[in-house]
A and B are shown apart, each in its own frame.
Chain A
Amino acid sequence: MAKRKPHVDVVMIGLGWTSSMMGMELTDEGLNVLALERGPDQDTVPDFAYPKMADELTYAVRYQLMQRPAKSTVTVRHGVRDMAVPYRSLGSFLPGNGVGGAGTHWNGHTWRPQPQELRLKSYVEENFGADIIPDEMTIQDFGVSYDELEPHFDFFEKVAGISGKAGNLNGETQQGGNPFEGWRSSEYPLPPMPRTLNDTMFRDVASAQGLHPFPMPAGNASEAYTNPYGMQLAPCNYCGFCERFGCLNYSKSSPQTCVLGALKRRDNFSYRTNCEVMKVELAEDGKTATGVTYIDENGDEVFQPADLVIMGAYSLHNVHLLLLSGIGKPYDPISGEGVVGKNYAYQMNGGATLYFKDKAFNPFIGAGANGEVLNDFGVEQIDFAKEGFIGGSYFNAAMTNGQPIRNMPLPGGAPQWGAEWKEAVQETYGHTMTIGSHGSNMAYRDCCLDLDPTYTDDHGRPLMRMTFNWKANDVRMTQFMKDKIDTLSQALEPDDYKLSFKDFESQYDVRPYQTTHNVGGAIMGSDPSTSVLNRYLQSWDVHNVFVMGASAFPQNIQYNPTGLVGGLTYWAAKAIREQYLKNPGPLVQA
């Protein structure tokens, strides 16, 4: 028999970026808000304190801040006829654990999507015709426009204290920024980060080729900053321990540095850690949620009644919980019926490693979002009909770290072990830079999430099953990028370079790290027969459940997802505050 806790107005599942921001918005309304976080509590000091955080082995190799697969994982298979097996060793993607979630261990690349990406299907149909969309590709529009989201992107960037340079202020092109970006109502809150050698080399070569490089929009503070909540960031010191680490210096935008200190002061906010939500409970008619059941830190089952449920867990867990709770119709990739689990997508990336005998890059002077980038080959720039694919990428020449275990790029032909390997490392350490392409990933009929029929988690619940593989359209996209990056690499005149891009032989491999941008599965849209959530991130089926996060993306954008996740969260919060609380019920009639 579950223990029953006193009623709260709002229960939020997870306490990362989205719940932190939603917590501010809903406590502003006077609501009594509770967050349930599966992992431990953590804060800059003592948990991310200098110097213990500067430990590559513990945090970057042994994943101290990540969820343990023994506690929580997915099974993975390439196709609907394959048997899925558990993702037992972290590799391809790294869901974060504890308060702050993945928002503590990210690099800080903070992008808005292009306006075209939010209405991708319509954009393709209008400009190139519906018939260029392959049969198996299931791309959709988000159901919300860039113009609607702009104020919320703007506010999120101010909350997160993003360093960057605008390229389009209210429609006017700005020198030094991204000339292709959607309009912004204001400049970035902080100037771009100081440049490193790789940045300037890439900028010079790209400019000479007529391209338009600009500094990466960074969730790493270039200067001391105070955000609209009064929360503060310190100038990034380029310590080189960013991704996979909590920031030791109050410099990386995170729930801890940007929101939680302000939220925790509010008497109508509380949170409980080591509390894992098992299920969202529904009323008898299945039309509203009554609260959530969770396992508390003592292992006891607890029912937490609430009027409003905000799902703010990692994208994969949001989908898993929807499936376990029976909210929305599960997606069936064979029939194409159902919605929950539909359109799981990832990110198509590639890159070049360039070796320069006579250049010292000092990679240990690095920051997560340090980098010079360009957007000349973005989704909105490419003639899909001519090039034969749908999608796009941004390029980045980044210098994030010089950590000794994982960051030892060697020139082609260098031995992999022994005295000669050592010699090669001594010769090349600090002499390489990279150019990456970070690209979109379309949605496909058979790329999806559902409950695994075989494997269960430590609570006996079915694990979620991921069915995913690379598709020809996206490989053509990345091969196009390979050609462009090859040209740029040669122009930089390295002594040696190598390219690493997916090809038509590539199968999705969960072992090497690729990106923690798992999107879709609880997608937003305009039609309840093809989406889980309406345009306000509200469940079509259970109106007092709102689902935050990148699980709402109908396919993946070419950018890192956090900027869009932030904008969507404030957009949903506005709808809850201004519409839902006054008149609880579906905000869009099906």
Chain B
Amino acid sequence: MMHRIGFIALAGLGLMSTAGTALAAASADHSQDEVARGEYLSRAGDCVACHTAPGGKPFAGGLEIDSPFGTIVSTNITPDPEAGIGDYSRDEFAAALREGERADGANLYPAMPYTAYAKLSDDDIDALYAYFMQGVAPVDEAPAESDIGFPFDQRWGIGLWNWLFADTEAFEPREGQDAQITRGAYLVQGLGHCGSCHTPRGLFFQEKAQDDDDEAFLAGASLGGWWAPNLRGGGEGDAGLQGWRQEAIVEYLATGRNDHDAVVGEMTSVVANSTSHLTDDDLQAIAAYLKSLPREADGEEKQSDTTPAQTERVLTAADVEADAGARLYLDNCNACHFANGEGAAKVFPSLVGNELVNADDPTGLLHVILEGARLPSTPAKPEALAMPGFAWRLSDTEAAELATFVRGAWGNHGDAVSADQVAEVRETLPEDRETSAPDFEP
């Protein structure tokens, strides 16, 4: 007989031994269902993204997070009693999540989204606690300390910040609100901590809003030059998510791709580690909630010098002698994104009206042009479709001409890009990035 049964039995044994080790460390015995629910919630909270170093063991911490104040190093949140949080009681765990307070009373840096996790229900805290005590393998490795300069290394100062900006109120459903939208609001405001990136921040780096009482909530923000788009999909107009059906938002979160766009930048790992693992019901709820948030008109309507048909005509006729950017587009981009700029549904993102392309700050777009981008492999769409980087091929001037063209073509309305802006972005590219430059012997 084949070792088929053996294989399955072995897998079962593996599970048991993990659980067995974890059990010894945990004070209470939680049901497998509770642990599984906690695991799911940890996906929704994307805990693994920050609490795992590249190539490191899950939840053992060690990821370096650049902040305006210095390098914050994420902590070990495995149930190891020394290196991790194995000694945390359920209430200490809850205080860390909701109030940013460590078991020893010190304040956590607000890179930990406790201002969002404050919305978590007691039930969900219980499940997360069960998972982190019993479902995660303990790792006996303490990551390095955060490297924060004075005065921000004075953790007591965070207390003041917390007093000013952190709201520890639990999530309250709105009266009369649709159950699906309520679920979506809970996920978006709480575990999803979408506002961490998508809500503009104030003078003290506080998110301007923690929930939809304020129209700044999820109104889009610039993050290290990357535009984290406005997620408010309701109201009059077709800007951003307003032009996406609920199903398109679900598809984007589940697979990182839809008929309009493909995920790039920081959101890539969010899709890979978090949203692609959520149930369809929860993704529908998130999408329904985002579609329920009215989006204000973006002030002055931005004008474009082009129309989609006009640009398509120019490119199709290869009438590009006068415009180096258009010529560069034909030579480098047209093969996949095509003359109409629309790419192909779910495969190559459309550049027309694209938020990244049109963002005030072109940093994100330039990153993608220079470094390329790769979609996450997800359960529903496993192919890690990639765009090659062009840093090896385009000079700063060429990349600027190309980006300027793309930002002005097909009715797009982004400002021109300078070679200096490209040079700045080029400086930040990782040395060990994948390259698709020809590598064969001549």
Contacts and interface: CB of A to CB of B under 8 A. Distances in A.
Interface of A: 7, 9, 29-32, 44-47, 49-52, 55, 58, 64, 223-224, 226, 229-235, 237, 239, 248-250, 257, 261-262, 264-265, 268, 307-308, 581, 584
Given A46-B388, A46-B435, A224 B2 contact: no
B438 A307 contact: no
Contacts of A44: 385-386
Interface centre among B372, B382, B385, B387 (most CB of A within 10 A): B382
Main secondary structure, interface of B, reads: loop
B346 A224 contact: yes
Closest 4 CB pairs of A and B: A49-B436, A45-B386, A49-B388, A46-B436
A64 B8 contact: no
Contacts of A49: 388, 436
A44 B386 CA distance: 8
Interface in B1-48: 1-4, 7-8
B7 A50 contact: no
B interface, how many residues as a size bin?
Answer: 35 or more
A50 B335 contact: yes
Nearest to A265: B382
A41 to B, nearest CB: 13
A248 B346 CA distance: 17
16 contacts: A9-B2, A31-B2, A32-B7, A45-B374, A45-B386, A45-B388, A223-B344, A230-B380, A230-B381, A232-B383, A232-B385, A234-B348, A249-B335, A261-B377, A261-B382, A307-B2
B335 A248 contact: yes
Contacts of B437: 52
Interface in B337-375: 338, 344-348, 372, 374
Nearest to B345: A224
A265 B377 contact: yes
Contacts of A584: 1-2
Nearest to A307: B2
A216 to B, nearest CB: 21
B345 A45 contact: no
Contact of A55 (B3, B377, B393, B438): B438
A496 B385 CA distance: 46
Contact of A250 (B8, B347, B382): B347
B180 interface: no
A9 B440 contact: no
A584 B435 CA distance: 47
A237 B347 contact: no
A229 B436 CA distance: 27
Given A9-B7, A265-B377, A231 B382 contact: yes
Contacts of B332: 50-51
B384 interface: yes
A105 to B, nearest CB: 15
Interface in B101-156: none
B247 interface: no
B7 A52 contact: no
Given A232-B383, A250-B347, 17 more contacts: A7-B3, A31-B2, A45-B372, A45-B387, A45-B436, A46-B436, A50-B436, A52-B438, A226-B381, A230-B383, A233-B347, A235-B347, A257-B383, A262-B383, A265-B382, A307-B2, A584-B2
B14 to A, nearest CB: 11
Given A232-B347, A234-B336, A265-B377, A29 B382 contact: no
B386 A31 contact: no
B169 interface: no
Given A45-B386, A45-B388, A231-B382, A307 B3 contact: yes
A248 B438 CA distance: 13
A191 B8 CA distance: 42
B343 to A, nearest CB: 8
A46 B389 CA distance: 9
A235 B384 contact: no
Contacts of B346: 224, 226, 232
Nearest to A45: B386
Interface string B259-284: 00000000000000000000000000
A282 to B, nearest CB: 18
A584 B2 CA distance: 7
Nearest to B333: A50
Contact of B382 (A47, A64, A229, A237): A229
Contacts of A51: 331-332, 393
Nearest to A576: B2
B238 interface: no
Contacts of A248: 335
Contacts of A233: 347
Interface of B: 1-4, 7-8, 331-332, 335-336, 338, 344-348, 372, 374, 377, 379-388, 393, 434-438, 440
A51 B388 CA distance: 9
Contacts of B347: 224, 232-235, 250
A539 B16 CA distance: 40
Contacts of A58: 438, 440
Given A9-B7, A46-B434, A52-B437, A235 B388 contact: no
B388 A261 contact: no
Contacts of A262: 382-383
A45 B385 CA distance: 8
Nearest to A248: B335
Contacts of A237: 335-336, 338
A45 B437 CA distance: 11
A289 to B, nearest CB: 13
Contacts of B344: 223-224, 234-235
B240 to A, nearest CB: 23
Nearest to A306: B3
Given A52-B438, A261-B382, A581 B2 contact: yes
B268 to A, nearest CB: 15
Nearest to B255: A230
A9 B436 contact: no
A50 B336 CA distance: 10
Contacts of B379: 230, 265
Contacts of A234: 336, 344, 347-348
Contacts of A32: 3, 7
Contacts of A232: 346-347, 381, 383, 385
B321 to A, nearest CB: 20
Nearest to B257: A232
A50 B333 CA distance: 9
Contacts of B435: 46
A268 B7 CA distance: 9
A30 B336 contact: no
Contacts of B335: 50, 237, 239, 248-249
**B331, B388, B437, most chain A CB atoms within 10 A:** B388
Nearest to B344: A224
Nearest to A227: B383
B371 to A, nearest CB: 12
Nearest to B438: A52
A252 to B, nearest CB: 13
A261 B383 contact: yes
B440 A64 contact: yes
A249 B331 CA distance: 14
B370 to A, nearest CB: 14
A31 B380 contact: no
A340 to B, nearest CB: 26
A232 B382 CA distance: 9
Q: Which one of A7, A32, A49, A248 has the highest number of Cβ atoms from chain B below 10 Å of its Cβ?
A: A49
A590 B335 CA distance: 55
A275 B353 CA distance: 48
Given A45-B372, A249-B336, A230 B7 contact: no
Nearest to B336: A249
A249 B381 CA distance: 17
A31 B6 CA distance: 10
A262 B378 CA distance: 9
Nearest to B10: A32
Contacts of A231: 382-383
Contacts of B348: 234
